Chains A and B, each alone.
Chain A
Amino acid sequence: MANKTLTRMDLSEAVFREVGLSRNESADLVESVLKHMSDALVNGEQVKISSFGTFSVRDKAARIGRNPKTGEEVPINPRRVLTFRPSHLMKDRVAAGNKS
Chain B
Amino acid sequence: MIRSELIQKIADENPHLYQRDVERIVNTIFEEIIDAMSRGDRVELRGFGAFSVKKRDARTGRNPRTGESVEVEEKHVPFFKTGKLLRDRLNGH
Where the two chains meet, the residues of A that have a C-beta atom closer than 8 Å to any C-beta of B are: 1-8, 10-11, 14-15, 18-19, 21, 26, 29-30, 32-34, 36-38, 40-42, 45-53, 55, 57, 79-82, 84, 86, 89-91, 93-100
* A98–B38 touching, CB < 8 Å: yes
Residues of A near B28 (CB, < 8 A) are 11, 14-15, 18-19
* A50–B3 touching, CB < 8 Å: yes
Where the two chains meet, the residues of B that have a C-beta atom closer than 8 Å to any C-beta of A are: 1-3, 6, 9-10, 13-14, 21, 24-26, 28-34, 36-49, 52-53, 55, 74-78, 80, 82, 86-87, 89-91
Provide the bound-state CA to CA distance between A32 and B21, in Å: 15
Question: Given the interface contacts A5-B42, A94-B38, does A19 sit within 8 Å of B24 by beta carbon?
Answer: yes
* A38–B10 touching, CB < 8 Å: no
Residues of A near B91 (CB, < 8 A) are 79-80
Provide the bound-state CA to CA distance between A29 and B28, in Å: 11
Shortest distance between the CB of A71 and any CB in chain B (Å): 27
Question: Given the interface contacts A2-B42, A5-B44, does A33 sit within 8 Å of B10 by beta carbon?
Answer: yes
Subset of 13 A-B contacts with CB under 8 Å: A2-B41, A4-B41, A11-B33, A14-B28, A15-B25, A26-B25, A33-B10, A33-B26, A48-B3, A50-B2, A81-B82, A90-B78, A93-B34
